[in-house]
């Protein structure tokens, strides 16, 4: 599978690099929290992930959606539309920041309690996530400004600023947590300051270098036409992220029910797991580009070969991951958790069992992105419903059995159900496309 489009390859490399740095930062942040504070603090941070993903994931998707009409207007050289979409997007960002910031600051303790967060983890969990919700406008600033820069064809500088913010975040973590002893709240402040710095850098570059934003009264005026079209595009993209988050919340309920030690071990194991599965997601992004190019050229056999090659790549990488994880799960868990042997054993067990099912995740990335590449975005989004059902069923089984082993298989069950749907849908769509093309050729 070869992607020949240089611009696509460039964007893909930056997309992978951004994900890599975000995952690397998250992993290092976990080490800092787990080693400089305590394993309980690490568990507290992990207990907030699904709730954070529900809101911040929505914000990320929402901001990506805001960039789409701006990019379309930029491509069409419609200067007025660029300005009107930009400023109405700013108004939407202010609204969403105010609504989420106010409501989630109040609701966070209630929601974490409803999720049965273990009592010994609850205070630190609230201390970690509440400031991030209160200042969610900073997260909106970073994501929106990066989305606008990409809409103008600049994917390099958001990446550079992200790398700088990640390094600053780590340094601030060490200072706030290690020197000032601010605990998990210090880790939250470090993230907010780093995001704010990156967001300001994006805005500075946008205004001074890209020079596409105009501060004219006619452009600053509110427009219901532009405003509602932005909502029409961006809200569904935010909800697409939130569907997965609902499944994650249900999964977190099952993990919380098994007690704080399981929360801590699963948090550590999951952070390590994400580092291993990131390349699978990158291959999936490449697959979407490859499929779309060959679909445009009506090369269906090449699409089928690309799917076969993509799955083969994933299988080979999965075998490599299994070998590495079987040998290194224990020392990697020690790196994150510290000296607690029981937690290390649980985390290593989680990693080893999960690694045996990586094939399902890797294959899902191939087939889901194939649907995206073929232009069936709704069908691809519906695969998230399969993951939601899988996580719900897996979580119920884990709660009934009160089994840590069952927790280890919640994600694999979700991947498997979604993969079955995507595999069936891809083959169905390709068969229909082949039939349609054959009919067209006969008419000619």
pLDDT of residue 5: 46
Higher pLDDT pick, 380 / 42? 42
Q: Is the pLDDT of residue 190 over 90?
A: yes
Q: Is the pLDDT of residue 242 over 70?
A: yes
pLDDT of residue 210: 72
The arithmetic mean of pLDDT across residues 55-81, rounded, is: 85
pLDDT of residue 293: 75
pLDDT one-digit tens code per residue, 375-410? 787 787 788 888 889 999 999 999 999 999 999 999
The 3-state secondary structure of the chain reads CCCCCHHHHHHHHHHHHHHHHHHHHHHHHHHHHHHHHCHHHHHHHHHCHHHHHHHHHHHHHHHHHHHHHHHHHHHCCCHHHHHHHHHHHHHHHHHHHHHHHHHHHHHHHHHHHHCCCCCCCHHHHHHHHHHHHHCHHHHHHHHHHHHHHHHCCCCHHHHHHHHHHHHHHHHHHHHHHHHCCCHHHHHHHHHHHHHHHHHHHHHHHHHHHHCCCCCCHHHHCCCHHHHHHHHHHHHHHHHHHHHHHHHHHHHHHHHHHCCHHHHHHHHHHHHHHHHHHHHHHHHHHHHHHHHHHHHHCCCHHHHHHHHHHHHHHHHHHHHHHHHHHHHHHHHHHHHHHCCCHHHHHHHHHHHHHHHCCHHHHHHHHHHHHHHHHCCCHHHHHHHHHHHHHHHHHHHHHHHHHCCHHHHHCHHHHHHHHHHHHHHHHHHHHHHHHHHHHHHHHHHC
pLDDT one-digit tens code per residue, 194-218? 999 999 999 999 988 877 777 777 6
Q: Is the pLDDT of residue 97 over 90?
A: yes
Q: Where are the domains of the chain?
A: 1-257, 259-444
pLDDT of residue 13: 55
At 1, the pLDDT band (50, 70, 90 cuts) reads very low
Q: Is the pLDDT of residue 42 over 90?
A: yes
At 273, the pLDDT band (50, 70, 90 cuts) reads very high
Q: Is the pLDDT of residue 338 over 90?
A: no
pLDDT of residue 442: 67
pTM over 0.85: no
pLDDT of residue 201: 96
Q: Is the pLDDT of residue 4 over 70?
A: no
Radius of gyration of the chain (CA): 22
């Amino acid at each position: 599978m070869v992607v020949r489009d240089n611009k696509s390859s460039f964007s893909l490399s930056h997309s992978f690099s951004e994900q890599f740095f975000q995952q690397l930062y998250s992993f290092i942040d976990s080490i800092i929290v787990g080693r400089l504070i305590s394993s309980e603090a690490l568990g507290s941070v992990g207990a907030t992930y699904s709730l954070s993903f529900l809101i911040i994931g929505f914000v990320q998707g929402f901001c990506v959606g805001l960039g789409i009409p701006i990019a379309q207007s930029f491509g069409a050289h419609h200067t007025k539309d660029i300005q009107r979409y930009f400023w109405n997007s700013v108004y939407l960002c202010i609204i969403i920041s105010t609504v989420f910031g106010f409501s989630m600051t109040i609701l966070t303790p209630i929601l974490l309690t409803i999720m049965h967060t273990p009592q010994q983890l609850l205070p630190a969990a609230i201390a970690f996530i509440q400031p991030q919700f209160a200042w969610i406008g900073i997260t909106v600033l970073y994501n929106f400004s990066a989305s606008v820069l990409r809409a103008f064809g600049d994917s390099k500088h958001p990446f550079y600023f992200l790398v700088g913010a990640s390094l600053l975040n780590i340094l601030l973590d060490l200072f706030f947590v290690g020197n000032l002893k601010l605990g998990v709240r210090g880790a939250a402040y470090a993230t907010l300051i780093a995001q704010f710095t990156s967001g300001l850098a994006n805005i500075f570059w946008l205004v001074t270098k890209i020079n596409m934003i105009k501060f004219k009264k006619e452009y600053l005026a509110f427009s219901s036409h532009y405003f509602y079209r932005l909502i029409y595009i961006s809200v569904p993209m935010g909800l697409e992220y939130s569907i997965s988050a609902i499944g994650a919340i249900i999964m977190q309920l099952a993990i919380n029910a098994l007690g704080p030690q399981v929360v801590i071990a699963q948090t550590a194991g999951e952070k390590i797991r994400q580092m291993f599965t990131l390349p699978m997601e990158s291959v999936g992004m490449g697959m979407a580009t490859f499929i779309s190019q060959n679909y445009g050229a009506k090369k269906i056999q090449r699409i089928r070969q690309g799917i076969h090659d993509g799955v083969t790549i994933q299988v080979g990488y999965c075998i490599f991951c299994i070998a590495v994880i079987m040998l290194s799960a224990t020392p990697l868990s020690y790196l994150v958790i510290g000296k607690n042997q029981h937690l290390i054993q649980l985390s290593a067990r989680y990693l080893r069992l999960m690694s045996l099912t990586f094939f399902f995740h890797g294959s899902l990335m191939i087939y889901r992105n194939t649907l995206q590449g073929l232009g069936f975005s709704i069908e691809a989004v519906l695969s998230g419903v399969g993951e939601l059902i899988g996580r719900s069923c897996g979580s119920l089984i884990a709660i009934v059995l009160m089994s840590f082993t069952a927790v280890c298989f919640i994600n694999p069950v979700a991947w498997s159900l979604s993969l079955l749907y995507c595999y069936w849908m891809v083959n169905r769509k390709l068969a229909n496309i082949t039939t349609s093309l054959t009919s067209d050729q006969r008419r000619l």
